[in-house]
Each structure stands twice: as structure tokens, then as C-alpha cells.
């Protein structure tokens, strides 16, 4: 993650450097072209789309040495396109990865030159601020991350970076989690089954000393089972496979059943759990994902709220979308921790929590589900006062149901 951020910073630096150099080049008076009689006017053209191309002959203009020296050595591909997406110039990395040559393809429509419909669509959608991860159209072994930025005088700058190694590491991590959770599932289930039988066994067959040990082992296998479940859930959420088609979820019913489970988790009514639901609107989503999202947030609210605290679960719909929020009056989260708590296995000092048996996967799962549903997660928290986790789903995911008399979303 840190490595990735550094790369992004380095990338921004490279683009800024490239842009600066391009800017510098564009202010350098060009030498008169010996074959061109109207050079004065084409020199004026240096300020517009054809900065690198002599418009009269159609030949590639050689960029000044300092520019080509500085941009050509970059490990990134840099390509400059005019406002109609015609090629102006690219460094040698760009020529290799996208399969063009400055001398042969100057002025050509870049969206036709590049042999990838994915890249074509990305450019036509005018990219920025999105980025695209794809393979080089010339070499499918090279994974690239593309950024397409507006550049001076209605031109565009296409930057591509080799992320093959990062992708390979991501795959190793994903495969490891998938394999480990799959392989551990059976042996742990067997251990769990026997320990459960033994802990339920009545009578004198087991000494009180062993009975205590078996109880502990049983509790720990339940925890391992939960970690394996969370790891499998993460694997499923990270897989590029499209999820099942969304179904209309009755949020009133879903929240009701989650709050009943939460009541059991809280134990002997030690928290008061309130629900406020706009039952006129369903959420279009995948049931198991949305159930997991709600139950992770609600179980956190219970775990991190001392006894007698209050938990409020709301489903609220406005014309802009639907918001699920879970508010608690618990221990809260320090400001500096907020940006980290959705990372995998990240837990704030576990000694501060009532229940120390968590793994730090719950909010990572929530975050994945939020992204898969084009939703937004907001966290507000005041230490020692409480927290509010809200997830806002876009309007396209909200549907009035047959109980609805409300015409908000028409
Ligand atoms: N409602 C909350 N109030 C205070 N702290 C919270 C709350 N929700 C999450 N946290 C903090 O964020 C950390 C990460 O939460 P997350 O749900 O990812 O992991 P966990 O609860 O520790 O373990 P699990 O994987 O079992 O959910 C928690 O360890 C806790 O310190
Ligand atoms: Mg949790």
C-alpha cells in the first residue's frame, strides 16, 4: 500500500516533470525550417496542437535534445495527443508498449492506432481522474496502469506505468489467502466438531481440569473458523467475477434480523438497540454481501460500546440515494486511526476493546462491499463519545417497493 502510494507520488512527479519540460520546450523559439517558407506562422503554431510536428511536411519535428533526453529515459511511457486524440509525440517506451512510431504515425488517430478496445474506450471517455489497469497491446505479459490527463492548449498527456510486478505480488497474496482459507477449513471443522462434542459431554468421563481446557480450545476453534470465513469472504469479494445479479432487498427485514442477532451478541440486553427504517424503499444488492456489511458494522458497534450503551441502526432514503447508518455511544476512534481501520488485519490497540478476539478483517470486508456497490463509506467518531458509520448507495440502487406510498424517487 505504502509502496503503491510512493509509486503514485513518483508518477505525479514524473508527469509534472514531463509537463514542465514540455512547457519549457514550447517556449523555446524553434529554429527556422529550411524547407518551409511560412515558418513564421507555423512557429506561432507551436502554441497549439502541433507543437512537435511540422504541419507543412507532416514529418515528426525533432524535440530539442534536453526534452527528448529527459523524457526518453523515463521508465514510463509518455504520449502527447492533440484535442482530437491524434498522435503528436511519444517517448520510446510509448512506441514499444502501444506499437506506433513517431516517424510513421505522426498525426494519426491514436484511438485507431492502439490495438485495444479497452484503451480506446478509456481515451474516448477522456480518462481523468480515473486510471485504467490493462495489458500492453503489444505485449500481453506487461501490465500497465494508464492515466490520461488534460494538458496545456487542449492537448492530452497519456502516461503508462509498468505494474507487472505489483500485479504479480497482488496475485500471490490473493492466491495465498484463497488457498490457506480453503485448506484450513476441513481440519479446523473436524477439530471444532470433536471439541464441541467433548465440551457438551456430561458425566464423570472428563476431569474438571480438562473440561476447562476443552472449553478454551473450543472457543479458540470458533475464532479460527471465523477468521477462515472472513478470509474466504475477502477472496470472493476480490475476485473479478461479476457478482450475482442484484435483488431487491427489504431493508426493514434485513435490519430487523441483524438487530436480533446483535441483541444475542450483546448478551442479556446490555445495550439498547434502536432501528429507524424507511420501509418504502428496497436496496438493489447481493443479499449475502449486504448482510455481511450490516452485520460487520453492527457487531463492531456492540464490541466497541460498553454495556448500557446505545446502538442506532437507520435506513434513510433521499433523492440522492439511500444511506445505512450505524451509530453507537462507544469508545470512539482517534482521528489518526480513521484512515487505517479499513486496512486488512488492522486493529487499534486491542487492549482498549471490550472484546479482544477480533482479527481486523471486518472493516476491510465492509470496504470491499462498499466499493463493489459504488457506495461511499463515511466514518465520524469522537473518542469516548461514539462513532457513526454511514454507507450511502447511489440512487440507481434504490427502488420503491409495493408498500411504498412515497413518491420521492418517482
Ligand atoms: N464502532 C467502533 N467503535 C470504535 N472502534 C471501532 C469501531 N469499529 C471498528 N473499530 C476499530 O477498528 C478496528 C478494525 O475493525 P474491524 O472490524 O476491521 O476489525 P475487528 O473488529 O478488530 O475484528 P473482526 O475482523 O473480527 O471484525 C477495530 O479493532 C476497532 O479498534
Ligand atoms: Mg469487526
What DSSP line would sit under 33-74, residue for residue?
Answer: PTT-TTHHHHHHGGGTTTTTB-TTT-PBPPPPHHHHHHHHT-
What's the grid cell of residue 354? 471490550
Give per-residue pLDDT as tens, 228-286: 998 988 888 887 655 567 899 999 999 998 888 877 777 776 899 999 999 999 999 99
Using an 8 Å Cβ cutoff, are 331 and 303 in contact? no
* Contact call for residues 297 and 259 (beta carbons, < 8 A): no
CA of 360 to the centre of ligand 2 (A): 6
Around ion ligand 2, residues with a beta carbon closer than 5 Å are: 300, 358, 362
Distance CA 177, CA 166 (A): 17
Ligand 2 centre to CA of 192 (Å) is 22
> For 237, phi and psi rounded to 5 degrees?
-70, -30
Phi and psi torsions of 369, nearest 5°: -65, -40
**CATH 3.40.390 corresponds to the domain 168-238:** no
Of 363, 365, 370, 384, the residue with max ligand 1 atoms within 8 A of its CB, to mutate for a pocket test, comes to 363
Please enumerate in sequence order all residues whose Cβ is within 8 A of that of 175, keeping only pairs 6 or more positions apart, or say none.
none
Torsion over CA: 242, 245, 249, 254 (sign): negative
Strands 87-90 and 131-135: unpaired
- pLDDT category at 66 given cuts 50, 70, 90 is low
| Cα–Cα distances in angstroms (integers) from residue 12 to residues 76, 149, 161, 357, in the given order | 11, 11, 11, 41
Mean pLDDT (whole number) for 379-386: 96
- Give the pairing type, strands 310-318 and 272-277: parallel
* pLDDT classification of 30: cutoffs 50, 70, 90: very low
Strands 77-81 and 155-162: antiparallel
CA of 335 to the centre of ligand 1 (A): 14
> Where do you find CATH 3.30.565.10 in the chain?
247-400
Ligand 1 site: residues with CB under 6 angstroms?
230, 300-301, 303-304, 328, 330-333, 341, 346-348, 353, 358-364, 387
Q: What is the mean pLDDT of residues 43-70?
A: 44
The ligand with the least distance to the CA atom of 222 is 1
Residue bearing the CA closest to ligand 1, atom 10: 300
The three grid cell numbers given for residue 10, joined into one nine-digit string: 513518483
Q: Which of 137, 139, 96, 89 is nearest to 115 (CA)?
A: 137
Q: How far does the centroid of ligand 2 lie from the alpha carbon of residue 346, in Å?
A: 10
What's the confidence (pLDDT) of residue 143?
96
**CA-nearest residue, atom 31 of ligand 1:** 348
What's the CATH number of domain 247-400, 2.60.40.1260, 3.30.565.10, 2.60.40.60, 3.30.950.10? 3.30.565.10
CATH code 3.30.450.20 region(s) in the chain: 2-162
Query: Which of 338, 360, 378, 389 is the pocket-test mutation for ligand 1 (most atoms within 8 Å of CB)?
Result: 360
Nearest CA to ligand 1 atom 26: 358
First to last CA, the chain: 43
CA of 303 from ligand 1 middle (Å) equals: 8
pTM of the model: 0.63
Distance, in Å, from the CA atom of 97 to the CA atom of 100, rounded to the nearest integer, reads 8
Cα angle vertex 364, ends 264, 222, to 5°? 45
Q: Which CATH superfamily is domain 2-162 in?
A: PAS domain (3.30.450.20)
Residue 351 CA: distances (Å) to CA of 291, 347, 355, 382, 402:
28, 10, 9, 19, 48
Q: Considering Cα of 349, then 354, then 356, then 359, what sign does the dihedral take?
A: negative
Within the chain, all domains assigned CATH 1.10.287 are found at 168-238
Q: Is 17 exposed, middle or buried (0-12, 13-18, 19+ CB in 10 A)?
A: middle
Quick: pLDDT tens for 92-113.
999 999 999 998 998 899 999 9
* Average pLDDT of span 126-143: 87
Amino acid at each position: 500500500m505504502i509502496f503503491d502510494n510512493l509509486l503514485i507520488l513518483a508518477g505525479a512527479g514524473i508527469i509534472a516533470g514531463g509537463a514542465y519540460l514540455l512547457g519549457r520546450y514550447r517556449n523555446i523559439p524553434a529554429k527556422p525550417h529550411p524547407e518551409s517558407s511560412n515558418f513564421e506562422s507555423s512557429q506561432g503554431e507551436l502554441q497549439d496542437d502541433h507543437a512537435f510536428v511540422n504541419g507543412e511536411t507532416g514529418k515528426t519535428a525533432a524535440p530539442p535534445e534536453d526534452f527528448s533526453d529527459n523524457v526518453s529515459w523515463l521508465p514510463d511511457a509518455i504520449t502527447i495527443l492533440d484535442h482530437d486524440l491524434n498522435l503528436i509525440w511519444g517517448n520510446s517506451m510509448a512506441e514499444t508498449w502501444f506499437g506506433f512510431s513517431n516517424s510513421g504515425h505522426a498525426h494519426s488517430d491514436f484511438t485507431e492506432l492502439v490495438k485495444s478496445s479497452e484503451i480506446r474506450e478509456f481515451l474516448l471517455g477522456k480518462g481523468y481522474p480515473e486510471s485504467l489497469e490493462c495489458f500492453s497491446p503489444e505485449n500481453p505479459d506487461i501490465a500497465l496502469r494508464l492515466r490520461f490527463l488534460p494538458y496545456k492548449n487542449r492537448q492530452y498527456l497519456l502516461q503508462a506505468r509498468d505494474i507487472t510486478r505489483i500485479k504479480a505480488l497482488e496475485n500471490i497474496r490473493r492466491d495465498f489467502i484463497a488457498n490457506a482459507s480453503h485448506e484450513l477449513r476441513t481440519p479446523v471443522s473436524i477439530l471444532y466438531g470433536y471439541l464441541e462434542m467433548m465440551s457438551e459431554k456430561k458425566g464423570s468421563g472428563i476431569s474438571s481440569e480438562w473440561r476447562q481446557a476443552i472449553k478454551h480450545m473450543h472457543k479458540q476453534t470458533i475464532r479460527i473458523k471465523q477468521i477462515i470465513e472472513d478470509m474466504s469472504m475477502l477472496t470472493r469479494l476480490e475476485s473479478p467475477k461479476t457478482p450475482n445479479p442484484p435483488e431487491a432487498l427489504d431493508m426493514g427485514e434485513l435490519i430487523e434480523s441483524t438487530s436480533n442477532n446483535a441483541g444475542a451478541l450483546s448478551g442479556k440486553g446490555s445495550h439498547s438497540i434502536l432501528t429507524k427504517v424507511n420501509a418504502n424503499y428496497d436496496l438493489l444488492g447481493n443479499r449475502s454481501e449486504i448482510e455481511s456489511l450490516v452485520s460487520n458494522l453492527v457487531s463492531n458497534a456492540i464490541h466497541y460500546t460498553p454495556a448500557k450503551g446505545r446502538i442506532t441502526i437507520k435506513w434513510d432514503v433521499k433523492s440522492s440515494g439511500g444511506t445505512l447508518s450505524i451509530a453507537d455511544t462507544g469508545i470512539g476512534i482517534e482521528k489518526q486511526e480513521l484512515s487505517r481501520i479499513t486496512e486488512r488485519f488492522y486493529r487499534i490497540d486491542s487492549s482498549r476493546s471490550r472484546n479482544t478476539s477480533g482479527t481486523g478483517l471486518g472493516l476491510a470486508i465492509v470496504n470491499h462491499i462498499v466499493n463493489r456497490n459504488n457506495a461511499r463509506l463515511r466514518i465520524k467518531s469522537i473518542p469516548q463519545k461514539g462513532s457513526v458509520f454511514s454507507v450511502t448507495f447511489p440512487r440507481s440502487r434504490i427502488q420503491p417497493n409495493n408498500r411504498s406510498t412515497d413518491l420521492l424517487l418517482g
